[in-house]
Structure 1
Amino acid sequence: MTTFSPARAVPVRRVQWRAGRLPEVAAWAVLVVVAAFAVAPGLFSDLSPIAIDPAGAMRGPGAAHWFGTDQLGRDQFTRVVHGTRPSLLIGLGATVLAVAGGALIGLLAVVGMRYAEQVLMRLVDILLSLPTMLLALLVITVLGEGSGNVMFAIAIAFIPGYARIVRAEALVVVRSGYVEAARALGLRQSVLVVRHVLPNALGPLLVLATVGFGTALIAASGLSFLGFGAEPPSPEWGVMLSEGRNYLSTAWWLGVFPGGAMTLTVIAVNIVGRAAQNRFTRRAPR
């Protein structure tokens, strides 16, 4: 007769737990490397990202140039490394602005006057009816081109979604029993919002913003690809993709490596964000 041994089951559970965490660990490793590229690109390459060398143009990947060279002889690995910082800054800045704007609108819609809620949420509904990239392009048309305007345009395009999330979470908190009790005891509205509504409403928003950062990064690179963001010869992933699209048949590395860097970063951000979202959902009170 076969007996069950708890001692044998523990290693199996550990192996399953570690196997389930492997994608998240790999994602964190990618993000650490990407962060190192952004903070200290000079540690990984001592070449200039904009220095040209016509004699060494269009060389394939090799020992001298890991990612090859472009049509002007610039080292692609150096440009990918130095392009990490501007690409991440635009996506991160847009996400921070969108979260701040969405949180402000969502909270005002819940704790403000009745007419304020109607005006704000109808405006949010109008903006949500427009595709994100189309709305960003409309903002750029008004503000003009440039990395700063691209960041601001993406933030405006993402604000309506975050505002909806904050409003939904804030409504749940405002109607909860402990908030009603605090209001009955005479707690001031400002204290109530800062102490109870804001922390509980922002919790899930910050988790979702992690995933939203990956989307903002794609949007920023897409707008730079179209020519609205950073301008050549600036090393930025979207700009590099735009420059390399005309040489894909003869120099595949010009598009593969910057595109691969962006893809790996977005996938890693999404994996970490989804893992954080799952943990938050499991720990949230039911």
Structure 2
Amino acid sequence: MSAVAAEVDARGANVVAGGVMRAGAALVLGLLVLAAVWPGLFTAYSPTEVDPALALRPPGGGHLLGTDQLGRDIWTRIVYGTRLSLFTGLAATALAVAGGTCAGLLAALGGRAADQAVMRTADVLLALPGMLLALIVITVLGPGQGSALIAIAVSEMPGYARMIRARALVVRRAEYVDAAVVLGLPHRSVVARHILPNSLSPLLVLATLGTGTAILAGSALSFLGLGVRPPQPEWGALLAEGREFLATAWWLALFPGLAITVTVVAVNVMGRHLRLRFEGRRA
């Protein structure tokens, strides 16, 4: 009985811990969305206004997280950088989902030749590390935020394509799809009304997890000078600026790095919760 009671207590503790983590992640994501939409609610400073007299002030006083080498408030730049960082992650994920959905449906419904062409291309892309593939795309397109979005989308697209293909192959054999075909519905209507909607559920869960990866990849590309560039206050670019002052002004790199870490962890916690809910298991 004691072993059973201990197991029950452990499960209860896990449930409580999971609930706290989800609540904390939801709170963080809510604040991030609010900061992206209404940054002036969190700070009264300008993210680009230069004041050399305030250069490299440590955290405290009138500047919560200190100032950078040009006297700009770090907290303000992180708050205003939320919009760029979230936009990069969300836009890249949306492009990857759209492209992966089209490719997956083509592979599942377009015949053997289309299936082989799409899947072998996906296999080649999946064989390359995501960041390496993104760097190859940026080498072709040139640096910039638009190129970074496309590069991240291309690196994530094969995974979504394989997911949609696998799901569509199952759905197209369902009885309600056969009934729609027997009733004479056009092939396009069958795909749009039955196959596609019933294939998207696992993809949405995967996209939530992929958003965190996309945010991290976007920050990495900006850190390398290939994405959003200074003076725009993007988290990866702020981190790149701060690395030059690690010995004398540690706060320049620490706080943008924390912003990236907390955001990615919060997105992954919510994505894991959605995955468990989709699989019918308790989070």
TM-score (norm 2): 0.92
Cα 1:105–1:20 change in 2 (3 A) is: same
Aligned residue runs from structure 1 range 1-286, under 5 A: 17-282=15-280
Question: Unpaired segments of 5 or more residues in structure 1?
Answer: 1-12
User: What runs of 5+ residues in structure 2 fail to find an aligned partner?
Assistant: 1-10
Give the distance between the partners of 1:19 and 1:213, measured in 2 at CA.
24
- Residues of 1 paired with 2:262 and 2:271: CA distance? 14
Instruction: State TM-score, norm by structure 1.
Output: 0.91
- How far, CA to CA, are the matches of 2:31 and 2:263 in structure 1? 10
SS for the counterpart of 2:280 is: helix
Identity fraction in percent? 57
Q: Partners of 1:134 and 1:204 in 2: how far apart?
A: 27
Matched residues, number: 272
Cα-to-partner distance string for 1:35-57 (whole Å, 9 max, x where unaligned) = 11110111211211111111111
Which whole-Å CA distance do the structure 1 matches of 2:248 and 2:174 have between them? 63
The secondary structure found in structure 2 opposite 1:65 is coil
Deviating 4+ runs (over 4 angstroms): 13-19
Q: Which amino acid aligns with 2:226?
A: F
Contact 1:90 1:148 in 2 (8 A): no
1:186 counterpart SS class: coil
Provide the C-alpha distance between the structure 1 equivalents of 2:44 and 2:62, rounded to a whole number of angstroms: 13
Shift of 1:159: 0.6
Relative to structure 1, is the Cα distance of residues 120 and 14 closer, same or farther in structure 2, using a 3 angstrom cutoff? closer
State the secondary structure of the residue aligned to 1:142: helix
1:197-238 deviation digits (Å, cap 9, x = unpaired) = 101111110111001000000000000000001121111100
Indicate the RMSD between aligned Cα atoms, in angstroms. Answer: 1.8
Contact persistence 1:237–1:259 (CA under 8 A): yes
How far the C-alpha of 1:240 sits from its partner, in A, is: 0.3
CA distance in 2, matches of 1:273, 1:63: 38
